[in-house]
Structure 1
Amino acid sequence: MGAVDEIISFGPADDSGRSLAWLPANALENGTVSLLLVTGFGGALGDDLDADNDGVIDAAGFEILDSVAVEDGGPGDLAYGDTVLTEQYDGLDFPPGGASRIPDGADTDSTADWVRNDFDRAGIPGFAGTLATGEAANTPGAPNSLTVVVVPLPPADCNAATVSIASVQGSGDASPVVGSSVEIEGVVVGDFQDGGFDGYYVQDAGDGDPATSDGIFVYAPNGMAVAEGDVVHIAGVVSEFFGMTEITATANSVCESGAALPPAAELTLPATPEAKEALEGMRVTLPQDLAILEYFNFGRYNEIALGTERQMQPTAVHEPGSPEAIALDEANEANRITLDDGRSIENPDPAIHPNGEVFGLDNTFRGGDLVTDATGVLDYRFDLWRVQPTQGAGYEAVNLRPEVPEVGGNFSVSSFNVLNYFTSIGSGGDFRGANTQEEFDRQEAKIVAALAEIDADVFGLIEIENNDEAVFTLVDALNDELGGDVYAALDTGVIGTDVITTAFIYKPSEVELAGDFAILDESVDPRFDTDLNRPALAQTFADVETGEEVTVVVNHLKSKGSACAGDPDTEDGQGNCNLTREAAAEAMVDWLATGPTGAEPGRDLIIGDLNSYDKEDPIDVLTEAGYTDLLLAEQGENAYSYVFDGQLGYLDYALAGPGLLPKVTGAAAWAINADEPSLLDYDMTFKKDAQDAIFAPDPFRSSDHDPVLVGFDFIPPELSVTVDPEVVFPPNAKWRTVTFDIDATDDSGEVSVELVEATAEGHKAQVEVISDTEARVLARLGAVYTFVFEATDPSGNTTTQEVTVTVGP
């Protein structure tokens, strides 16, 4: 409890009697902490000053001159000294995250001397901020003040001796001279004084050692204005800012301008951390054609991830925890780097395309597009290696927006995640979806555009509000778009207790409801935990033209993100709650085997968001039970419907039962969402006005999951058979050859025709089949020969036709 976490030494006092010490990043921990100003301390880091944990510092031979502590109420926490800031010390019912001494000249050694800070960096160089009542500005080395005064840095001496930047960077992860004051000189290779970085990158001529970087970031929020090509002389203090070596400037000067920039060092992927560390802070270029992998943070922070090729989720192509999955995960990490924008502000305006131009509807990009020769400065921020660009990169659009996939057949089903379509706009509680009517209108327009283009006979919807209203509102909007009552909603009422649910909409002109819907929840099978999974919804639909039936089961299983009690992430790649999803899959298999809707088991189509990649345990349960993963079968191992952490895979499924599989004509995901940056979506929560305007009421980025489409062929082929001759004459008891002219067609492809039966009736009548197009009959008076043909299309649909040959006049 009384362990020494940090020892800070102060140098000689200045003329005002003050001494200032700079602490490296993370020197002080969050939570309960005591700051003691002491003299005569001879201990060391880790010493326990309160061995008996009684809240009183043991006699230690040093004098406490002043103190302040924050106690956040953690169990067993202790704070030391005369002044302890606790929850409600100033009337607020939560502990302070930071405080400053009130600059009134009084020192009462009580909490009355301290005011809670408001965290807007008031007084930090370059930040005016807004001071709370009584709050002191950040004025390191100067008296506390209620006024923010921005003091520019003093000039540095361009003739003073310098050290090489390489000696500051060193050859390891951290600088060997952290905490030291140094002077360097070099050319500015990246100016990022605006946008939140509050500094620039300086590179010198180098020391010739490829293991040491020749560039460094200079943090100078109240420094002079600089430009690329300026030769600057910097005096400052070395620190590690969350893993990035930097110098906080204490003096600066521009010694000359217009200097040539050093050649950009080529950084090629894959690259080890050591290779990147050797170029930290230097001007670099990425010469390869690199694919855009990740863009989740593009709208919020204007950053994208690049890699040598698009990357697959390890458990989408390899067994979880296998050596192959582990190796792919490691290779993915080595084969990526982040292209940033030189700004740390959120939702920057304008958003910048990798080509350096303003991002917009006429200048967008998709995952998989190529970026070449990205050039800028390499740095390490927020736990990622990044290139902060100083110029636009080459860009090539190679992943063009696709049309709706052709899946064939006469009966189609689509799984569509509608990304929290809520009609309870801006409601409290576990609220999701649109915050305003304008957002809702934008969201609905995109979803309706996508549904209308897909034009499926049956849609299984995921992430729709569980209020018995949203699905009907969506159907009304879709029908308004289509100009008639094309779709209807299955009326299930509220299903389960989650705020989101699954639902069906369908075309009554094409399909009919065959029986009632059925629901799988924990009341049916305790293995299907509906505190975590959404209940499974099944409905049998009958094709109006043929009467063929399909039982569609739409699901939304527990996500990987949050933990489940007793079902943690085992670090094998399957994420949290894998056992929960696996048990749900087992329950579903057994439930469907009973024909819960009254239809024939085995003619089931399992769709929806199963929150499992296709090599994971829940999918193994389904495929081992005889269900066929149609995306894998039709699109191959690299099929995807979702992008997470820059890696591809599919969580959205269409799994066909064995009785239905022969009727499948195609299955595909329509890549309208996962490959599109979220800046194009309906949400206006964080965006600036200019980014809100980057909107079109089209299908693209209508959700974050791509819809999945499946086609089925239930229409039998057309068959026409004629025989020559139809009448055999004379009846001379001799063998006669008859031939068959066969015409068989089907929209689904080539049709096979077989002569399946040949019968002879009459006295001594005999028939011999030579082939499917030729036979011999015995010409006996009154004999009747019957031939039955069967045509079979690629989906197994059959048509039969019978022709006869008679013998007589």
Structure 2
Amino acid sequence: MPTPSSARLAALTVAAVCGAALAAQTTVLTAPAHAESVRIHDIQGTTRVSPYAGQKVTDVAGIVTGVRTYGSSKGFWMQDPSPDDDPATSEGVFVFTSSTPKVASGDAVTVTGTVSEYVPGGTSSGNQSLTEITKPAVTVVSHGNAVPAPVVVDARSVPDAYTPAGDPAAGGSINALPLRPSAYALDYYESLEGMNVQVTDARVVTATDPYTELWVTVKPDEHRSSRGGTVYGSYDAQNTGRLQIQSLGSTADFPVADVGDTLTGATTGPLDYNQYGGYTLVANRIGTLDSAGLQRETTRPQSPGELAVATYNVENLDPSDTTFAAHADAIVHNLRSPDIVSLEEIQDDNGATDDGTVDATQTMTKLIDAIVAAGGPRYDWRSIDPVDGQDGGEPGGNIRQVFLFNPARVSFTDRPGGDSTTAVGVTKVHGKAALTASPGRIDPASDAWKSSRKPLAGEFVFRGKTVFVIANHFASKGGDQGLTSQYQPPTRSSETQRHLQAAEVNSFVKDLLKVQKNAEVVALGDMNDFEFSDTAKILEGDGELWSAIKSLPANERYTYDYQGNEQVLDQILISPQIRRAGRFSYDSVHLNSEFHDQISDHDPQVLRFHP
């Protein structure tokens, strides 16, 4: 469920996991007028929206603190070296030139132009707006002036409370609320919008991504994970110390960092706001990278009497990809060749080519051969091809879930009748629960699965014991408002479909348990929602299932790292018979989410138990 530097200003972010980006818009909030002799802090005002929005301002003075010459948002930041005494009013502002600015850092300038409120991602995104001066006439008064000293952003300056509640009369918006920078983190960052800021010895909490950006925390003890990240453990744990870092310099010089590394010394630059994560330090000086040497995790092997069941989102895997050997190595060596693996995001044989192909035999054959080459078993597999273009994901890719299983350790019970449009049911055979088709899809015609992956149910036998496995990939978080939205709390509109999906899966598990109370059921996959979410609660129902990641310490509960928050998107839920004390162990195997060279954006998980 995952945001940009120079490259990202012209591209979609990893948040494409959560849907397509919206077109940027500029919102003019008042009729044009004219204002003379105003200072930058007058323009910024004491709320998120400038009191001069829509007005022309004349000869606004400042010192240039940073120049952006790339992307679609060319311009420069300037700052008043003589601040007022109100901590709510920022002394910096971005001047949008649209073409390459003809100023340099340290220039004293005056600017005449129109004050605008620019909403990154467009007004429908729910994002806050960025106060700018647009259509500027710029006069350089002098060169080589001292740039205003940066404001140090650290654990003491950033409040522990994240945001005020939005104004109900304004639809939940915080835009018009007076800023309280000593009370709320979002208000504090807003009070520094456009100003020169600095973080020192900041620990990396999201690795460098393909768009040459990373995330740090200025609060090293805030919900710290066991491996150096920052855990998102509830809707009230937004983690106030997170900041995105981009660079005004060459992307070649940007640090290639993993979680737990540190940018030692000072990282300094203007504080921006963008659609890919909100408040961002756009650095003209970056600290020196100090590696923590984080290593990829390896789980323990299952014992002869343990069944190992794993889930792994392999991120749009198709035959043209170059990651097969790496995925195979991860399955064999890091996951220790689980007996059953639910694979999510297996694409058809020609990937994103949209020509009606739905078969994935080439994709799976290539993966299985790579696993054998890596020293693993020759897995077998089961799946059901989706109807072309009906399951969401990358257009043309036809992603689906696949059961990978080791036939030397576990057998698959094949029952005919399962196809892309036929609903699997539960029946009784010799007094025990059985699937009417194996593999089969759960209620594929339901609106719950519209443009989304349908759950795949299968019946396995391990040492004479039947285990039911349900592979899932729930609807993405596309359309949800970000944590830095102007609407607080943010709207999570995508939950509606996941709640319907969770109810469908829970109902199916209930059917199994009605027929056989002690049936052993595992529902797993990319749920695209947190272990504390209502989606998880609906899945768990009245005890029919339980999310096994909750057996881990709180600082180890994560499978994904997004905008500095390590969080749970992938889950393995178990029925009461498996949950009985001492019968299972669980591991979230961190081999992707914390690393800049990840082969997927998800970490796999492994459940081991004695059927």
TM-score clears 0.5: yes
**Closer, same or farther in 2 for the Cα pair 1:445/1:184, shift >3 Å?**
same
Counterpart-to-counterpart distance in 1, 2:558 and 2:205 = 15
Give how far 1:540 is off.
1.5
Is 1:510 aligned to 2:396, yes or no? Answer: no
Give how far 1:284 is off.
1.4
Aligned to 2:280: 386
1:633 maps to a residue whose letter is S
Equivalent residues of 2:75, 2:99 under 8 A apart: no
Give the aligned CA root-mean-square deviation in angstroms: 4.3
Q: Which whole-Å deviations, capped at 9, do the CAs of 1:716-768 have from their partners, x for residues lacking one?
A: xxxxxxxxxxxxxxxxxxxxxxxxxxxxxxxxxxxxxxxxxxxxxxxxxxxxx
Which region of structure 1 is more displaced relative to structure 2, 261-270 or 213-222?
213-222
Is 1:266 aligned to 2:152, yes or no? Answer: yes
**Closer, same or farther in 2 for the Cα pair 1:519/1:549, shift >3 Å?**
farther
Counterpart-to-counterpart distance in 2, 1:518 and 1:654 = 27
Structure 2 counterpart SS, 1:490: strand
Structure 1 counterpart SS, 2:370: helix
TM-score (norm. length: structure 2): 0.67
- Aligned 1:649-668 pairs, distance under 5 A: 649-661=567-579, 664=583, 666-668=585-587
TM-score (norm. length: structure 1): 0.52
Counterpart-to-counterpart distance in 1, 2:478 and 2:62 = 48
- Aligned 1:681-692 pairs, distance under 5 A: none
Aligned to 2:179: none
Equivalent residues of 1:607, 1:654 under 8 A apart: yes
Tell me which of 582, 589, 595 is aligned to 1:670: 589
Is 1:559 aligned to 2:475, yes or no? Answer: yes
Give how far 1:623 is off.
6.3
Counterpart-to-counterpart distance in 1, 2:72 and 2:543 = 55
Is 1:487 aligned to 2:395, yes or no? Answer: no
2:48 maps to a residue whose letter is D
**Closer, same or farther in 2 for the Cα pair 1:27/1:187, shift >3 Å?**
closer
Equivalent residues of 1:210, 1:278 under 8 A apart: no
Structure 1 counterpart SS, 2:594: coil
Give how far 1:457 is off.
2.6
Is 1:250 aligned to 2:137, yes or no? Answer: yes
Tell me which of 244, 257, 267 is aligned to 1:364: 257
1:534 maps to a residue whose letter is K
Counterpart-to-counterpart distance in 2, 1:518 and 1:664 = 34
Counterpart-to-counterpart distance in 2, 1:638 and 1:180 = 53
Structure 1 counterpart SS, 2:324: helix
1:283 maps to a residue whose letter is N
Aligned to 1:87: none
Equivalent residues of 1:461, 1:503 under 8 A apart: yes
Is 1:210 aligned to 2:86, yes or no? Answer: yes
Is 1:581 aligned to 2:581, yes or no? Answer: no
- Aligned 1:363-512 pairs, distance under 5 A: 363-366=256-259, 369-371=261-263, 373-382=266-275, 384-398=278-292, 400-406=294-300, 408-410=302-304, 411=306, 412-423=308-319, 437=320, 440=321, 442-453=322-333, 454=335, 455-465=337-347, 467=359, 469-470=361-362, 472-482=364-374, 486-491=377-382, 494=385, 498=391, 499-512=398-411
Structure 1 counterpart SS, 2:257: coil
Q: Which whole-Å deviations, capped at 9, do the CAs of 1:189-246 have from their partners, x for residues lacking one?
A: 223345554332233331442343333333446687433333x232421412413232
Q: Which whole-Å deviations, capped at 9, do the CAs of 1:335-387 have from their partners, x for residues lacking one?
A: 433323248xxxxxx646xxxx345xxx3323x54446431112334483322
**Closer, same or farther in 2 for the Cα pair 1:594/1:480, shift >3 Å?**
same
Counterpart-to-counterpart distance in 2, 1:371 and 1:710 = 36
Give how far 1:601 is off.
4.6
1:456 maps to a residue whose letter is P
Aligned to 2:604: 707
Tell me which of 518, 522, 536 is aligned to 2:423: 522
Structure 2 counterpart SS, 1:593: helix
Structure 2 counterpart SS, 1:252: strand
Counterpart-to-counterpart distance in 1, 2:490 and 2:68 = 42
Counterpart-to-counterpart distance in 2, 1:315 and 1:637 = 6
Equivalent residues of 1:339, 1:388 under 8 A apart: yes
Is 1:234 aligned to 2:110, yes or no? Answer: yes
- Aligned 1:602-621 pairs, distance under 5 A: 602-620=519-537, 621=539
Aligned to 1:132: none
Q: Which whole-Å deviations, capped at 9, do the CAs of 1:453-512 have from their partners, x for residues lacking one?
A: 22223222222235251464134422452368x223134553677433322222333334
Q: Which whole-Å deviations, capped at 9, do the CAs of 1:620-662 have from their partners, x for residues lacking one?
A: 3436335443221244475111234543332323333344446
Equivalent residues of 2:509, 2:544 under 8 A apart: no
**Closer, same or farther in 2 for the Cα pair 1:573/1:638, shift >3 Å?**
farther
2:158 maps to a residue whose letter is L
Give how far 1:672 is off.
1.7
Aligned to 2:175: none
**Closer, same or farther in 2 for the Cα pair 1:582/1:509, shift >3 Å?**
closer
2:318 maps to a residue whose letter is F
**Closer, same or farther in 2 for the Cα pair 1:451/1:163, shift >3 Å?**
same
Counterpart-to-counterpart distance in 2, 1:493 and 1:273 = 47
Counterpart-to-counterpart distance in 2, 1:524 and 1:513 = 17
Structure 2 counterpart SS, 1:284: strand
1:244 maps to a residue whose letter is T
Equivalent residues of 2:206, 2:562 under 8 A apart: no
Give how far 1:586 is off.
2.5
Tell me which of 246, 249, 252 is aligned to 1:340: 246
- Aligned 1:531-570 pairs, distance under 5 A: 531=445, 532=449, 533-542=453-462, 547-561=463-477
Counterpart-to-counterpart distance in 1, 2:456 and 2:469 = 7
1:420 maps to a residue whose letter is N
Structure 2 counterpart SS, 1:577: helix
Report the number of matched residues. 484
**Closer, same or farther in 2 for the Cα pair 1:491/1:396, shift >3 Å?**
same
Structure 2 counterpart SS, 1:580: helix
2:287 maps to a residue whose letter is A
Counterpart-to-counterpart distance in 1, 2:478 and 2:82 = 48
Structure 1 counterpart SS, 2:86: coil
Counterpart-to-counterpart distance in 2, 1:708 and 1:527 = 23
Aligned to 1:642: 560
Structure 1 counterpart SS, 2:455: strand
Aligned to 1:156: none
Counterpart-to-counterpart distance in 2, 1:217 and 1:371 = 26
Q: Which whole-Å deviations, capped at 9, do the CAs of 1:236-274 have from their partners, x for residues lacking one?
A: 2141241323264324225242x3332211233235444
- The gaps in structure 2 that reach 5 residues or longer are 1-24, 119-129, 160-183, 348-357, 392-397, 427-439, 480-488
Counterpart-to-counterpart distance in 2, 1:256 and 1:273 = 34
- Aligned 1:105-184 pairs, distance under 5 A: 164-178=39-53, 179-184=55-60
Which region of structure 1 is more displaced relative to structure 2, 396-405 or 488-497?
488-497
Q: Which whole-Å deviations, capped at 9, do the CAs of 1:130-149 have from their partners, x for residues lacking one?
A: xxxxxxxxxxxxxxxxxxxx
Percent of matched pairs sharing the same residue: 19
**Closer, same or farther in 2 for the Cα pair 1:582/1:511, shift >3 Å?**
closer
Higher relative contact order (CA 8 A, sep 6+): 2
Counterpart-to-counterpart distance in 1, 2:332 and 2:224 = 31
Aligned to 2:486: none
Counterpart-to-counterpart distance in 2, 1:316 and 1:163 = 42
Give how far 1:707 is off.
0.9
Counterpart-to-counterpart distance in 2, 1:399 and 1:421 = 28
Equivalent residues of 2:530, 2:567 under 8 A apart: yes
**Closer, same or farther in 2 for the Cα pair 1:645/1:470, shift >3 Å?**
farther
